[in-house]
Amino acid sequence: MDERLVEAAQALLTGYDTALNRQWREEDRRWRTEDMCWRQKELHFSDAQHTFLEEQRQWRQQDTEQRHLDNARALWARVVEKNRRDVEEKAEQLKAISTLAALISGFALSAFLQFEFGDYVDKSGAVLPLFGVTMALTVGLETICVIICSLMLVSVFKTGQSYMSDEEEAEFMQRCRAFAYNYSPGDRPPAPARSFAMHWAQRCEQSWRRAFLLFGLGIPCLFANLSVAAFIKFDKSLLAELLTTGVLVLALMSMGYSRKWSSHILETERTELGADRMPTAPQGLPFDWHRRPAFQGRTLSQSMSAGGVCSSDGAAAVMVNGT
């Protein structure tokens, strides 16, 4: 009886232990299944995070390229604005000189055509020829000045915008891209290969100085013509002749006060095409985008010296100032 009870209890415990072991195995299987699911989710999350980091890296690279492009566009806009201002400045300069030269030439010619000699008798035989020579010089010099300035003005408007074409912009953008990718401390942003300032220095400056010289030579000729006309008009009044001549001489001498302006117009520009006004320490990108560009060509003063345009500075200034 006791053995049966022991066997029954042992069988009951064995069954219960087997049931618990089976239940534990099922729970362990479910846990492993959930663990595999979590591992797959973690692997998927890791892949997603890696993809996100890669996309973020690509976005950062694209953002950097876009910022470089924006800097290049800003630099190109500054170049275009400078070119436009240079064209406007030179155009207004040529217009002003040509207008004054045309007024002086027209005044001298109309004065000659409307001048009445009356009963004047040239006793010396030199007054009338001198009057004709001074009138012809005034009209001739100022007319040539007007022609040169007018032709240069047309050339300025024709070629001024050609340096800002699509091809120039594309080449400039490529140079900016190379600057951004090959940057090293100390580099300066690029400049366009061509510009209106270079064109003016190499092809227009000499003609402009010649026209200004002719304009300056015409002014003393005009005063001399007026002085000779006074001797013809007031041939019966020596006092009137002397007073008129004296006033004209004083007026011509007073033009010496404009010496600084004529010198300023004719002086060689110190803002050359290649050198800094003052040394600036490189600070790295993006600040070095705003440094003075590194021009490839010669400086403005070198271009003008090569063209031989510095010889007429003093003569033109002297004739304009009357000193």
Confidence grade of residue 144 (pLDDT, cut at 50, 70, 90):
very high
Q: How far is CA 251 from CA 139, 229, 255, 317, 322, in A?
A: 20, 16, 7, 16, 9
Least confident of 9-13, 25-29, 88-92, 312-316: 312-316
Confidence (pLDDT) at 311: 36
Helix runs in the chain, H state only: 2-114, 127-159, 166-181, 196-199, 205-233, 238-254, 259-266, 300-307, 313-321
**pLDDT > 70? residue 39:** yes
- Amino acid type, 76: W
What residues have CB less than 8 Å from 180, skipping those under 6 apart?
68, 71, 72, 285
For residue range 265-294, what is the model confidence (pLDDT) as tens digits?
766 554 444 444 555 666 667 776 777 776
Backbone angles phi, psi at 19, to 5 degrees: -65, -40
Average pLDDT over residues 121-138: 78
CB 159 within 8 A of CB 202: no
CB 113 within 8 A of CB 61: no
Q: How many CA atoms, within 13 angstroms, populate the side-chain half-sphere of residue 38?
A: 6
Average pLDDT over residues 53-70: 86
Average pLDDT over residues 100-107: 89
Confidence (pLDDT) at 273: 44
Global pTM reads: 0.64
β-sheet bridge partners, residue 294: 190
More confident residue, 166 or 313: 166
Confidence (pLDDT) at 278: 57
Confidence (pLDDT) at 148: 92
Average pLDDT over residues 97-120: 81
Q: Which of 24-38, 246-260, 309-323 has the highest mean pLDDT?
A: 24-38
What residues have CB less than 8 Å from 301, skipping those under 6 apart?
268, 269, 270, 272
For residue range 194-215, what is the model confidence (pLDDT) as tens digits?
788 888 888 888 888 889 889 8
Least confident of 17-21, 35-39, 41-45: 17-21
CB 304 within 8 A of CB 201: yes
